Amino acid sequence: MHRIRTTNSDPEKKRQKKMNAFISPTTYEIKFHELVLFILEKKMGATRRTFLMDLARKKGFRVENELSNSVTHIVAENNSGSDVLAWLKAHKMEMTTQFELLDVSWLIECMKAGKPVDTKGKYLLMKNRVSLANPDPTAGTLKILPPAVKAISQYACQRRTTLSNHNQRFTDAFEILAKNYEFRENDGRCLTFLRATSVLKCLPFAIVSMKDTEGLPWIGDDVKSVMEEIIEDGESLEVQAVLNDERYQSFKLFTSVFGVGLKTADKWYRMGFRTLSKIRSDKSLKLTKMQKAGFQYYEDLVGCVSKAEADAVNLLVKEAVWTFLPDALITITGGFRRGKEFGHDVDFLITSPGAEKEQEDKLLQKVTNLWEKQGLLLYCDLIESTFEDLKLPSRKVDALDHFQKCFLILKLYHQRGDRSKWEVPAGSNEPEVKNWKAIRVDLVVCPYDRHAYALLGWSGSRQFERDLRRYATHEKKMMLDNHALYDKTKRIFLGAKTEEEIFAHLGLEYIEPWERNA
């Protein structure tokens, strides 16, 4: 549930719709992205509410017409905190996030100051933040949260998540369960644990008791049962059962091979395979070109790529691309852009402000031909562009983009300073030791006017991108993907030269790449 909904009769909906018609459609620049206001009409009246909403928007505040999970402050007039809560409960409002209840005098002081003022003291209708938890759609339940708990959004794109994870004992367990549900193609259960993982990763503290989870979004009963086990016993029996499950072990092993997805893993498992050596030795199996490369360089590819190796590949890519397109902008994306020290591959986004379309279309072919001549190209799968300039963004949260790209395996030689580790001394009877490593590399080329959207999409993390698109759809009535942002209300595409501009279009506070590790 992404929007607040009422379960009242049609007259209530008609009244709300009529009231919304009075609200000015004029848009103003949002200056204070950390606050999202909702002004309660109860005892205030529609005319005064409309006036205050418009005034607040002119001052740079974000004000919602309807209650939603993005709301951080509810403003009321001539109401006590219990009056507001009673109204919310009576109207069966559903909210998974936390908010503050404030008297209208706070908003008036904000208007005088031209900026948010402190919410403490006389303005608060209740001392603590509030959350509406509603597991049963037929009955609203109110939860009063301790003031020390900061509101956590249900959307990863409204949370800052660094690589500092204080709850790894829980998130490691959740990721195992999520992977198992992915192997079983149970998308709903998989998403349940991925969302819970994302929430716990953003917390600035370690959870030591279940009381610490009060008010957190996406922490449902299934998640809580696993957490309770870990807190009480140090481990989860469900997780241990998954780790010992033969099917899970086989799928994890099979999908570790480059080019092997769930369908192939399931096929091999049903055929009775349990080890890679058996698959390699079975001549009756028809492997794809990608899978053959995956097996050939398996020992290198299954290991992690270090930041130092990624930096070396970065130099290799820039040297090759600039040979054919000197003004090209080349950005390392994915986990390494988010500050990770290790990854499984290295992704690059390439664009050029002055390149002709023909130059862009031929760039990757020229670059891979050069590497082939240099003896560095071990595998290449070039995907031609199917990008259409005026095509609407995809409605699918996990949709791939249509830019030209190639999936590569490159030969990365060890640095000269380390060659003594890899080379055999002269006259030795030892076999020659390999002095290079196979590295997975993805190159993506996009038009310059789409660079900001492609950069945002390819930087990740996956859950951050999912929630960013979900937020655009459910909270802003927009459509977002790696190509564009479309406003369905205004029926226009919104241009952006930087990631910051995309966040601004969505009314979101900008989040740095290293804070997107959701």
CATH, residue 93: 3.40.50.10190
Are 352 and 432 in a shared domain? yes
Are 265 and 195 in a shared domain? no
In the prediction, which pLDDT does 21 show?
38
128 vs 137, more confident: 128
Are 172 and 258 in a shared domain? no
Active site residue 361: no
Active site residue 347: yes
Task: Catalytic residue, from 345, 401, 467, 481: name it.
Answer: 345
Out of 66-75, 120-129, 484-493, which region has the weakest mean confidence (pLDDT)?
Answer: 120-129
Q: Does 1 fall in a domain? A: no
Q: Does 506 fall in a domain? A: no
Task: Catalytic residue, from 347, 401, 467, 481: name it.
Answer: 347
Over residues 273-292, mean pLDDT: 96
Are 384 and 484 in a shared domain? yes
218 vs 92, more confident: 218
Are 113 and 17 in a shared domain? yes
pLDDT in tens, 353-364: 988 888 899 999
Are 369 and 323 a contacting pair, CB within 8 Å? no
Q: Which residues pair with 305 in a beta bridge?
A: 343
Q: How many domains does the chain have?
A: 4
pLDDT tier at 274, thresholds 50, 70, 90 = very high
Q: Does 3 fall in a domain? A: no
Over residues 138-151, mean pLDDT: 46
In the prediction, which pLDDT does 85 show?
84
Q: Does 507 fall in a domain? A: no
Are 236 and 381 in a shared domain? no
What span, in angstroms and rounded, lies between the C-alpha atoms of 248 and 274?
Answer: 11
Q: Does 516 fall in a domain? A: no
Are 372 and 484 in a shared domain? yes
Coil, strand, or helix at residue 63? strand
pLDDT in tens, 426-476: 444 545 678 999 999 999 999 999 999 999 999 999 999 999 999 999 999
Any idea what DSSP says for residue 48?
H
In the prediction, which pLDDT does 96 show?
55
What span, in angstroms and rounded, lies between the C-alpha atoms of 242 and 336?
Answer: 30
Over residues 197-205, mean pLDDT: 95
Domain boundary among 151, 177, 210: 151
- Long-range CB contact pairs, 472-479, < 8 A, 24+: 472/506, 473/395, 474/2, 474/3, 475/2, 475/68, 475/69, 475/70, 475/155, 476/506, 476/507, 478/505, 478/506, 479/392, 479/393, 479/394, 479/395
Domain boundary among 151, 178, 199: 151
CATH, residue 344: 3.30.460.10
Q: Does 292 fall in a domain? A: yes
Are 212 and 317 in a shared domain? no
* Burial (CB count <10 Å: 0-12, 13-18, 19+), residue 316: buried
Are 179 and 292 in a shared domain? no
Are 312 and 183 in a shared domain? no
CATH, residue 192: 1.10.150.110
**DSSP letters of 448-517?**
GGGHHHHHHHHH--HHHHHHHHHHHHHHHSEEE-SS-EEETTTTEE---SSHHHHHHHTT-----GGGB-
pLDDT in tens, 239-269: 999 999 999 999 999 999 999 999 999 999 9
Over residues 412-427, mean pLDDT: 51
Q: Residue 175: pLDDT above 70? A: yes
pLDDT tier at 133, thresholds 50, 70, 90 = low
What span, in angstroms and rounded, lies between the C-alpha atoms of 325 and 318?
Answer: 10
Other beta carbons within 10 angstroms of residue 290's beta carbon come to 15
Name the percent of the chain lying above pLDDT 90. 64
Task: Catalytic residue, from 212, 266, 442, 487: name it.
Answer: 442
In the prediction, which pLDDT does 140 show?
39
Coil, strand, or helix at residue 334? helix
The first and second tokens of residue 292, run together, are 């053959």
Are 142 and 191 in a shared domain? no
Domain boundary among 151, 169, 187: 151
Are 125 and 164 in a shared domain? no
Q: Does 164 fall in a domain? A: yes
| Range of the structural domain that residue 252 is part of | 246-296
CATH, residue 250: 1.10.150.20
What one-letter code names the amino acid at 143?
Answer: K
Q: Does 514 fall in a domain? A: no
What span, in angstroms and rounded, lies between the C-alpha atoms of 31 and 497?
Answer: 20
Name the percent of the chain lying above pLDDT 70. 86
What one-letter code names the amino acid at 351?
Answer: T
Q: Residue 20: pLDDT above 50? A: no
How many CA atoms lie less than 13 Å away from 340 in the CB half-sphere? 25
